[in-house]
Copies of this chain bind each other. A is one copy, B any other.
Amino acid sequence: MNNKPTPGVRFKDNRAEIAVWAPYAKKVAVIINDGTVIDLNTVAYGYWVLTTAALKPGDRYRFKLDDKMALPDPASLSQPNGVHGASMAIDINQFKWTDAAWQNPGLGQYVIYELHAGTFSPAGTFEGIAEKLGYLKQLGITAIEIMPVAQFPGGRNWGYDGVFPYAVQNTYGGAEGLAKLVNICHKQGIAVILDVVYNHFGPEGNYMGIYGPYFTGKYHTPWGDAINFDDAWCDEVRHYFIQNVLMWFRDFHIDALRLDAVHAIKDFSAKHILKEIKENVDELMAQTGRKHHLIIEFDLNDPLFIDPIQKRGYGMDAQWIDEFHHALRVTAGEKRDGYYSDFEGIGHLAKAYNDAYVYDGIYSPGRLKTFGANANDNPGRQFIVFSQNHDHVGNRMLGERSSQLFGFEMQKLMAAAVMVSPFIPMLFMGEEWAESNPFQYFVSHTEPELVEAVRKGRKAEFASFHTDEEAPDPQAIATFERSKLQWDLPAKDGHKQMLSFYQALIRVRKQLPALAILDRKKLKTTVYEAGKILLLH
């Protein structure tokens, strides 16, 4: 694998090294600044390469396959004019890092703060995040998790519609903006987790299929054909994503990746793509001496994914546990419909504390099948828990955060439930001051038909809710604006107290050895069903 070219443009000795994978093309050319056209040379496995002094940092470029339409680079590092525009060549190694003293802590020491770059700060940029690091440090946060930043259509998106996995969203500040943010985080002692999407591409600006067989009809996913991880040509698709992982760690100093919905990655190869990613990251860590974590969003309850490679697992370091969230919310009074229907409250919450997986080989009425396997040998530092996150807030029609759904005391109880768990706690931005704004589903597509389809889809999703209210228009700027944090709130009554409570909770968690050391085996639970009391001891 390592002899294959890194896709995209890299600069070395003042010359651009260009590589693009287009196995079906008879001819590939690069067009620089809409003028100069230079043919690339075909090498093994369908790659086309060129080393040239004609392409310089800051230049715009596109590729032409077989003299057809000029297209942006699938491994573009920068899309200054959006997903349909030309790619811009940038020198990813020109950033002057000053974080040599930084050491990424073990996952057991992470207190994670999930944030969305566009709505976290007033500016909605990486710079805006940087300005709030002092605040986050005071709160006790040790790691921020940034929702996906791969270039998406327009300027407003949760990030899961990204179509350029190598390009950092221009409206957030692009590659340089992200590097600056990571650098300053490290100097302030905060780790950076980046959310990346390797299970699908967004519906607009996805030119991948024109370049090569990035997709396979072997498997259906909610987004259509699955990404090709095990069909013909999959080596090159795997290479594309493996190099992406390595880029974030090596070139952006990212501390951990959060791999979106890996259960939608379909791979029956003898070596699963996650295992291959882990092997490559292990190799990188051995070279650099730096530590990087791989966290997965994963809903199959199969410890195979998080077991070490020596135990024949895929070697992922940790995973999100949505079931803890579901059990906690139902215990707190959430209605048992949709994905909450499988959760019965306090008994299941106790099971989540004990076993991490609630459905660990038992029948799931919601799924209409037996589900999961036992994960009792996996330590607590492999599981990330939360009382809310972007998904479960935004999946609601009106995107209400906990503060709009639960009373003050219940919010405190839920925060404590997360913080005293033997797992890694994660907050969703603003929950610490009981943010009253919602976090709604928003997009900014440019294709009118797609905009209409997303609108309709969103409405249809909630049609059965029998409410007088309408689903907010995902495309409307107002939907995005009303999802922003209100930074004047934490000073206000009620919110101030909640923030103090969170600060105190995090401090206690860090200071009490019984909480700071994530030892699942030492935790005992006793449930008093009648009084709805759960005792952790």
Contacts and interface: CB of A to CB of B under 8 A. Distances in A.
Interface of A: 217-220, 230-235, 263, 266, 268-271, 300-304, 311-312, 361, 363, 367-373
A141 to B, nearest CB: 33
Nearest to A216: B220
Given A219-B220, A220-B219, A312-B312, A363 B270 contact: no
A124 B300 CA distance: 48
Contacts of A217: 220
A9 to B, nearest CB: 26
Given A220-B217, A301-B270, A369 B311 contact: no
| Number of chain copies forming the complex | 2
B363 A235 contact: yes
Contacts of A372: 270
B220 A302 contact: no
A369 B234 contact: yes
Nearest to A360: B270
Given A219-B219, A220-B217, A300 B270 contact: yes
Contact of A312 (B266, B269, B311): B311
Nearest to A307: B312
Contacts of A233: 368-369
A267 to B, nearest CB: 10
The 3 closest A-B pairs by CB, nearest first: A270-B373, A270-B302, A232-B368
Nearest to A311: B312
Contacts of A270: 300-304, 361, 371-373
A369 B235 contact: yes
Contacts of A370: 235, 269, 271
A237 to B, nearest CB: 9
25 contacts: A217-B220, A219-B220, A230-B369, A231-B369, A232-B368, A232-B369, A233-B368, A233-B369, A235-B363, A235-B368, A235-B369, A235-B370, A263-B268, A266-B268, A269-B300, A269-B302, A269-B371, A270-B300, A270-B301, A270-B302, A270-B303, A270-B371, A271-B370, A271-B373, A304-B312
A231 B230 CA distance: 21
A271, A372, A373 — which one has the most chain B CB atoms within 10 A of its CB? A271
A130 B398 CA distance: 72
A234 B220 CA distance: 17
A234 B364 CA distance: 12
A340 to B, nearest CB: 17
Contacts of A230: 369
A217 B224 CA distance: 12
A304 B269 CA distance: 11
A467 B331 CA distance: 72
A230 B299 CA distance: 14
Nearest to A44: B363
Nearest to A363: B235
Nearest to A372: B270
Q: Which of A233, A300, A361, A369 has the most CB of B within 10 A?
A: A369
Contacts of A361: 270-271
A91 B369 CA distance: 31
Contacts of A373: 270-271
